[in-house]
Amino acid sequence: MDEKSFGHIPVLFHEYIDSLNLSTTKRNIVVDCTLGLGGHAVGIIKKLHTGDIFVGFDLDNDNLSSSKETIEKSVGCFARDNGITIHCIHANFKDIKTKLSELGIDTVTAVCYDLGVSSAHFDDADRGFSFRFTGKLDMRFDREHGGKTAGDIINHANEKELIEMLRIYGEEPKARFIAEAIVKTRKIKPIETTEELTRLIEETSYDPKSVVRSFQGIRIAVNDEFGSIETSLKDTVNLLSPGGRCAVITFHSLEDRLVKQIFAEYLQAERDEFTGQDTVPAILKKVTKKPLLPTEEEMKQNKRSRSAKLRIVEKR
Ligand SMILES: C[S@@+](CC[C@H](N)C(=O)[O-])C[C@H]1O[C@@H](n2cnc3c(N)ncnc32)[C@H](O)[C@@H]1O
Protein backbone atom coordinates (compact mmCIF):
# COMPACT_ATOMS: atom_id res chain seq x y z
CA MET A 1 0.00 0.00 0.00
CA ASP A 2 1.32 3.44 -0.76
CA GLU A 3 0.41 6.75 0.81
CA LYS A 4 -2.36 7.45 -1.70
CA SER A 5 -4.41 4.40 -0.75
CA PHE A 6 -5.95 6.13 2.26
CA GLY A 7 -8.44 8.45 0.54
CA HIS A 8 -6.58 11.33 2.12
CA ILE A 9 -2.93 11.96 1.42
CA PRO A 10 -0.61 12.18 4.42
CA VAL A 11 1.65 15.20 4.04
CA LEU A 12 5.43 14.78 3.60
CA PHE A 13 4.87 11.03 3.98
CA HIS A 14 8.36 9.66 3.28
CA GLU A 15 10.23 12.61 4.78
CA TYR A 16 8.26 12.35 8.07
CA ILE A 17 8.76 8.60 8.45
CA ASP A 18 12.43 8.68 7.41
CA SER A 19 13.04 11.54 9.85
CA LEU A 20 12.28 9.20 12.77
CA ASN A 21 15.44 7.22 11.94
CA LEU A 22 13.82 3.94 12.96
CA SER A 23 16.38 1.30 13.90
CA THR A 24 16.54 -2.10 12.25
CA THR A 25 18.58 -3.57 15.11
CA LYS A 26 17.68 -1.75 18.34
CA ARG A 27 14.23 -1.59 19.97
CA ASN A 28 12.00 1.21 18.70
CA ILE A 29 9.37 2.81 20.92
CA VAL A 30 7.54 5.23 18.67
CA VAL A 31 4.75 7.65 19.55
CA ASP A 32 2.53 9.14 16.85
CA CYS A 33 0.84 11.98 18.75
CA THR A 34 -1.67 12.74 15.99
CA LEU A 35 -3.01 9.50 14.49
CA GLY A 36 -5.59 11.33 12.37
CA LEU A 37 -6.73 8.86 9.72
CA GLY A 38 -3.75 6.61 10.32
CA GLY A 39 -1.85 7.29 7.09
CA HIS A 40 1.51 8.04 8.64
CA ALA A 41 0.96 5.44 11.37
CA VAL A 42 0.70 2.62 8.82
CA GLY A 43 3.93 3.78 7.16
CA ILE A 44 5.68 3.85 10.55
CA ILE A 45 4.43 0.45 11.74
CA LYS A 46 5.60 -1.17 8.48
CA LYS A 47 9.15 -0.19 9.42
CA LEU A 48 9.02 -1.74 12.91
CA HIS A 49 10.27 -5.17 13.96
CA THR A 50 9.95 -7.75 16.74
CA GLY A 51 9.70 -6.27 20.23
CA ASP A 52 8.99 -2.72 19.00
CA ILE A 53 6.16 -0.67 20.45
CA PHE A 54 3.94 1.81 18.61
CA VAL A 55 1.71 4.19 20.59
CA GLY A 56 -0.74 6.51 18.84
CA PHE A 57 -2.92 9.26 20.28
CA ASP A 58 -5.82 11.23 18.92
CA LEU A 59 -8.09 13.60 20.72
CA ASP A 60 -10.88 13.01 18.24
CA ASN A 61 -12.74 9.75 18.78
CA ASP A 62 -14.01 9.55 15.17
CA ASN A 63 -10.47 9.87 13.82
CA LEU A 64 -9.19 7.44 16.41
CA SER A 65 -11.73 4.83 15.19
CA SER A 66 -10.80 5.46 11.55
CA SER A 67 -7.10 5.16 12.25
CA LYS A 68 -7.59 1.95 14.28
CA GLU A 69 -9.53 0.45 11.37
CA THR A 70 -6.91 1.51 8.82
CA ILE A 71 -4.07 0.20 10.96
CA GLU A 72 -5.82 -3.13 11.54
CA LYS A 73 -6.66 -3.54 7.84
CA SER A 74 -3.24 -2.49 6.56
CA VAL A 75 -0.73 -3.76 9.10
CA GLY A 76 -2.66 -5.63 11.83
CA CYS A 77 -1.52 -9.10 10.67
CA PHE A 78 2.01 -7.88 9.99
CA ALA A 79 2.26 -6.48 13.54
CA ARG A 80 0.90 -9.64 15.20
CA ASP A 81 3.13 -11.94 13.09
CA ASN A 82 6.18 -9.86 13.97
CA GLY A 83 5.53 -9.28 17.67
CA ILE A 84 5.00 -5.52 17.33
CA THR A 85 2.79 -4.01 20.05
CA ILE A 86 0.29 -1.34 19.02
CA HIS A 87 -1.64 0.95 21.40
CA CYS A 88 -4.12 3.47 19.98
CA ILE A 89 -5.37 5.79 22.70
CA HIS A 90 -8.04 8.48 22.93
CA ALA A 91 -5.98 11.19 24.57
CA ASN A 92 -4.66 14.70 24.31
CA PHE A 93 -0.97 14.64 23.41
CA LYS A 94 -0.36 17.13 26.21
CA ASP A 95 -0.78 14.09 28.51
CA ILE A 96 1.95 12.13 26.73
CA LYS A 97 3.97 11.56 29.91
CA THR A 98 1.04 10.23 31.98
CA LYS A 99 -0.40 8.13 29.18
CA LEU A 100 2.98 6.49 28.44
CA SER A 101 3.61 5.96 32.14
CA GLU A 102 0.26 4.09 32.36
CA LEU A 103 1.74 1.71 29.76
CA GLY A 104 4.96 1.38 31.79
CA ILE A 105 6.95 3.48 29.29
CA ASP A 106 9.33 6.19 30.52
CA THR A 107 11.64 6.60 27.52
CA VAL A 108 10.94 6.61 23.80
CA THR A 109 13.04 6.54 20.65
CA ALA A 110 10.84 8.65 18.37
CA VAL A 111 7.86 11.00 18.67
CA CYS A 112 6.00 12.66 15.83
CA TYR A 113 3.31 15.30 15.45
CA ASP A 114 1.35 16.17 12.30
CA LEU A 115 -0.43 19.14 13.82
CA GLY A 116 -3.85 20.65 13.34
CA VAL A 117 -6.98 19.53 11.60
CA SER A 118 -7.49 16.46 9.43
CA SER A 119 -9.28 16.45 6.10
CA ALA A 120 -12.12 14.53 7.82
CA HIS A 121 -12.73 17.50 10.13
CA PHE A 122 -13.09 19.96 7.26
CA ASP A 123 -15.32 17.64 5.26
CA ASP A 124 -17.85 17.07 8.06
CA ALA A 125 -20.29 20.02 8.25
CA ASP A 126 -21.49 18.93 11.71
CA ARG A 127 -18.08 19.57 13.23
CA GLY A 128 -18.24 23.27 12.40
CA PHE A 129 -14.58 23.57 11.32
CA SER A 130 -15.27 24.72 7.79
CA PHE A 131 -16.83 27.93 6.52
CA ARG A 132 -17.57 26.11 3.25
CA PHE A 133 -20.50 24.25 4.87
CA THR A 134 -23.29 25.26 7.18
CA GLY A 135 -22.92 23.59 10.55
CA LYS A 136 -23.17 24.28 14.27
CA LEU A 137 -20.29 26.31 15.66
CA ASP A 138 -18.47 23.49 17.43
CA MET A 139 -14.80 23.05 16.34
CA ARG A 140 -13.84 20.80 19.29
CA PHE A 141 -11.46 17.94 18.49
CA ASP A 142 -12.70 16.20 21.63
CA ARG A 143 -16.49 16.11 21.96
CA GLU A 144 -16.52 13.49 24.70
CA HIS A 145 -15.07 15.51 27.57
CA GLY A 146 -17.25 18.63 27.35
CA GLY A 147 -15.30 21.84 26.94
CA LYS A 148 -16.37 25.09 25.33
CA THR A 149 -17.54 25.02 21.72
CA ALA A 150 -16.82 27.78 19.21
CA GLY A 151 -20.45 28.86 19.74
CA ASP A 152 -19.91 29.17 23.51
CA ILE A 153 -16.89 31.41 22.95
CA ILE A 154 -18.45 33.52 20.20
CA ASN A 155 -21.61 34.10 22.24
CA HIS A 156 -20.13 34.52 25.74
CA ALA A 157 -16.52 35.78 25.62
CA ASN A 158 -16.22 39.50 26.29
CA GLU A 159 -15.18 41.88 23.52
CA LYS A 160 -11.57 42.13 24.70
CA GLU A 161 -11.22 38.34 24.76
CA LEU A 162 -12.68 38.11 21.27
CA ILE A 163 -10.27 40.76 19.94
CA GLU A 164 -7.30 38.96 21.49
CA MET A 165 -8.36 35.58 20.15
CA LEU A 166 -8.81 36.88 16.60
CA ARG A 167 -5.68 39.01 16.71
CA ILE A 168 -3.29 36.59 18.42
CA TYR A 169 -4.43 33.20 17.09
CA GLY A 170 -5.87 34.37 13.78
CA GLU A 171 -3.47 37.26 13.07
CA GLU A 172 -6.56 39.09 11.87
CA PRO A 173 -5.90 42.82 11.26
CA LYS A 174 -9.61 43.67 11.55
CA ALA A 175 -10.02 41.79 14.84
CA ARG A 176 -11.47 44.83 16.66
CA PHE A 177 -14.20 45.46 14.05
CA ILE A 178 -15.14 41.80 13.85
CA ALA A 179 -15.32 41.46 17.65
CA GLU A 180 -17.51 44.60 17.83
CA ALA A 181 -19.83 43.17 15.17
CA ILE A 182 -20.05 39.85 17.04
CA VAL A 183 -21.01 41.56 20.30
CA LYS A 184 -23.59 43.78 18.56
CA THR A 185 -25.17 40.89 16.64
CA ARG A 186 -25.39 38.48 19.56
CA LYS A 187 -27.33 41.06 21.60
CA ILE A 188 -30.17 40.57 19.12
CA LYS A 189 -29.80 36.81 18.59
CA PRO A 190 -27.09 34.21 19.38
CA ILE A 191 -24.71 33.39 16.50
CA GLU A 192 -25.27 29.68 16.02
CA THR A 193 -23.93 28.49 12.69
CA THR A 194 -20.75 28.69 10.63
CA GLU A 195 -22.81 30.40 7.91
CA GLU A 196 -24.02 33.17 10.25
CA LEU A 197 -20.48 33.80 11.49
CA THR A 198 -19.02 33.74 7.96
CA ARG A 199 -21.60 36.27 6.75
CA LEU A 200 -20.94 38.55 9.73
CA ILE A 201 -17.16 38.50 9.12
CA GLU A 202 -17.57 39.08 5.36
CA GLU A 203 -19.93 42.00 5.91
CA THR A 204 -17.58 43.56 8.47
CA SER A 205 -14.25 43.09 6.79
CA TYR A 206 -14.85 42.85 2.99
CA ASP A 207 -11.72 40.67 2.89
CA PRO A 208 -12.34 36.95 2.21
CA LYS A 209 -9.10 36.11 4.03
CA SER A 210 -10.60 37.45 7.27
CA VAL A 211 -12.93 34.45 7.35
CA VAL A 212 -10.02 31.99 7.02
CA ARG A 213 -7.97 33.80 9.65
CA SER A 214 -10.86 34.20 12.09
CA PHE A 215 -11.89 30.54 11.83
CA GLN A 216 -8.26 29.54 12.47
CA GLY A 217 -8.09 31.78 15.53
CA ILE A 218 -11.33 30.46 16.99
CA ARG A 219 -10.29 26.81 16.42
CA ILE A 220 -6.93 27.34 18.12
CA ALA A 221 -8.67 28.91 21.13
CA VAL A 222 -11.41 26.25 21.37
CA ASN A 223 -8.83 23.45 21.53
CA ASP A 224 -6.10 25.34 23.42
CA GLU A 225 -3.85 24.10 20.63
CA PHE A 226 -0.79 26.11 21.60
CA GLY A 227 -0.99 25.14 25.28
CA SER A 228 -1.09 21.45 24.33
CA ILE A 229 1.83 21.78 21.88
CA GLU A 230 4.00 23.51 24.44
CA THR A 231 3.33 21.05 27.29
CA SER A 232 3.71 18.04 25.03
CA LEU A 233 6.91 19.05 23.24
CA LYS A 234 8.62 19.83 26.54
CA ASP A 235 7.67 16.41 27.94
CA THR A 236 8.74 14.76 24.69
CA VAL A 237 12.23 16.26 24.99
CA ASN A 238 12.51 14.66 28.44
CA LEU A 239 11.09 11.33 27.32
CA LEU A 240 13.43 10.88 24.34
CA SER A 241 16.41 8.58 24.82
CA PRO A 242 19.82 9.77 23.53
CA GLY A 243 19.73 9.65 19.72
CA GLY A 244 15.91 9.72 19.82
CA ARG A 245 14.12 11.91 17.29
CA CYS A 246 11.16 14.27 17.34
CA ALA A 247 9.50 15.33 14.08
CA VAL A 248 6.80 17.99 13.81
CA ILE A 249 4.76 19.03 10.77
CA THR A 250 3.15 22.47 11.08
CA PHE A 251 0.69 24.16 8.73
CA HIS A 252 0.84 27.85 9.52
CA SER A 253 3.41 30.39 10.61
CA LEU A 254 2.14 30.80 14.19
CA GLU A 255 2.33 27.05 14.84
CA ASP A 256 5.75 26.82 13.24
CA ARG A 257 7.09 29.77 15.23
CA LEU A 258 5.90 28.18 18.48
CA VAL A 259 7.56 24.83 17.69
CA LYS A 260 10.75 26.59 16.61
CA GLN A 261 10.83 28.63 19.84
CA ILE A 262 10.27 25.60 22.06
CA PHE A 263 13.02 23.60 20.35
CA ALA A 264 15.34 26.64 20.51
CA GLU A 265 15.28 26.44 24.34
CA TYR A 266 16.93 23.02 24.13
CA LEU A 267 19.23 23.64 21.16
CA GLN A 268 21.54 26.01 23.02
CA ALA A 269 24.18 25.06 25.54
CA GLU A 270 24.30 27.01 28.81
CA ARG A 271 27.38 29.22 28.71
CA ASP A 272 29.48 30.87 31.41
CA GLU A 273 29.21 34.58 30.59
CA PHE A 274 32.76 35.33 31.76
CA THR A 275 34.72 32.43 30.26
CA GLY A 276 32.47 31.84 27.28
CA GLN A 277 32.74 28.11 28.01
CA ASP A 278 29.73 25.80 27.77
CA THR A 279 28.68 24.75 31.27
CA VAL A 280 25.69 22.58 30.38
CA PRO A 281 25.61 21.06 26.88
CA ALA A 282 22.60 21.54 24.59
CA ILE A 283 19.93 18.86 25.00
CA LEU A 284 18.86 18.74 21.36
CA LYS A 285 20.51 19.10 17.98
CA LYS A 286 18.87 19.95 14.68
CA VAL A 287 18.76 17.12 12.15
CA THR A 288 18.24 19.48 9.22
CA LYS A 289 19.37 23.10 9.34
CA LYS A 290 16.13 24.33 7.79
CA PRO A 291 12.66 22.76 7.97
CA LEU A 292 11.83 20.34 5.15
CA LEU A 293 9.17 21.48 2.69
CA PRO A 294 7.04 19.51 0.24
CA THR A 295 8.33 19.12 -3.31
CA GLU A 296 6.64 20.96 -6.19
CA GLU A 297 5.20 17.60 -7.20
CA GLU A 298 3.61 17.00 -3.77
CA MET A 299 2.20 20.53 -3.70
CA LYS A 300 0.62 19.94 -7.10
CA GLN A 301 -0.96 16.65 -5.99
CA ASN A 302 -2.02 17.76 -2.52
CA LYS A 303 -2.96 21.39 -2.03
CA ARG A 304 -3.06 20.95 1.75
CA SER A 305 0.67 20.26 1.76
CA ARG A 306 1.50 23.75 0.44
CA SER A 307 1.98 25.36 3.80
CA ALA A 308 3.55 22.33 5.53
CA LYS A 309 6.95 22.50 7.23
CA LEU A 310 8.73 19.59 8.88
CA ARG A 311 11.12 20.30 11.77
CA ILE A 312 13.29 17.46 13.07
CA VAL A 313 15.44 17.40 16.20
CA GLU A 314 17.52 14.72 17.89
CA LYS A 315 18.28 14.26 21.59
CA ARG A 316 22.02 14.40 22.32
C1 LIG B 1 -3.31 16.53 10.49
S2 LIG B 1 -4.17 15.30 11.36
C3 LIG B 1 -3.04 13.95 11.41
C4 LIG B 1 -3.05 13.14 10.16
C5 LIG B 1 -2.28 11.84 10.28
N6 LIG B 1 -0.86 12.05 10.39
C7 LIG B 1 -2.58 10.92 9.15
O8 LIG B 1 -1.66 10.44 8.48
O9 LIG B 1 -3.78 10.67 8.90
C10 LIG B 1 -4.07 15.88 13.00
C11 LIG B 1 -4.81 15.01 14.03
O12 LIG B 1 -4.35 15.41 15.31
C13 LIG B 1 -5.44 15.37 16.20
N14 LIG B 1 -5.11 16.28 17.30
C15 LIG B 1 -5.08 17.63 17.28
N16 LIG B 1 -4.71 18.10 18.47
C17 LIG B 1 -4.49 17.03 19.26
C18 LIG B 1 -4.06 16.87 20.61
N19 LIG B 1 -3.81 17.93 21.38
N20 LIG B 1 -3.91 15.62 21.08
C21 LIG B 1 -4.17 14.54 20.30
N22 LIG B 1 -4.58 14.63 19.03
C23 LIG B 1 -4.73 15.85 18.52
C24 LIG B 1 -6.64 15.80 15.38
O25 LIG B 1 -7.83 15.31 15.93
C26 LIG B 1 -6.31 15.15 14.02
O27 LIG B 1 -6.92 13.90 13.92
Per-residue pLDDT reduced to its tens digit, 247-287: 999 999 999 999 999 999 999 998 998 999 999 999 999 99
CA of 138 to the centre of ligand 1 (A): 17
Quick one: which atom of ligand 1 is closest to the CA of 16?
A: 6
Domain ranges of the chain: 3-120+226-315, 143-222
| Least trusted range by pLDDT, from 1-5, 91-95, 129-133 | 1-5
Residues with CB under 6 A from ligand 1: 10, 33-34, 36-40, 57-60, 63, 92-94, 114, 116, 118, 141, 228
**Which runs of consecutive H residues, i.e. helices, occur in 170-207?**
175-188, 194-205
pLDDT band at 9 (very low <50, low <70, confident <90, very high): confident
Q: Are 246 and 237 in contact (CB under 8 A)?
A: yes
pLDDT at residue 7 in the model: 54
Residue 107, classed as helix, strand or coil, is coil
pLDDT band at 229 (very low <50, low <70, confident <90, very high): very high
- Please tell me the residue having the least CA distance from ligand 1 atom 18: 92
pLDDT band at 3 (very low <50, low <70, confident <90, very high): very low
- CATH class assigned to 143-222: mainly alpha
Q: Are 122 and 11 in contact (CB under 8 A)?
A: no
Q: Amino acid identity, residue 194?
A: T
| Closest residue by Cα to residue 248 from 310, 308, 295 | 310
Cβ–Cβ contacts within 10 Å for residue 158, how many? 10
Please state at what angle helix 225-239 crosses helix 208-222, rounded to 10 degrees.
Answer: 50
Quick one: which atom of ligand 1 is closest to the CA of 6?
A: 9
How many residues are there in the chain? 316
Helix (H) or strand (E) holding 286: strand 284-286
Q: Are 94 and 232 in contact (CB under 8 A)?
A: yes
pLDDT, averaged across the chain? 95
pLDDT band at 146 (very low <50, low <70, confident <90, very high): confident
Q: Which one of 1, 35, 298 would you pick to mutate in the ligand 1 pocket, going by the greatest count of ligand atoms within 8 A of its CB?
A: 35
Cβ within 8 Å of residue 289, ≥6 positions away: none
Task: Please state which of the four CATH numbers 3.40.50.2300, 3.40.50.150, 3.90.120.10, 3.90.79.10 is assigned to the domain occupying 3-120+226-315.
Answer: 3.40.50.150
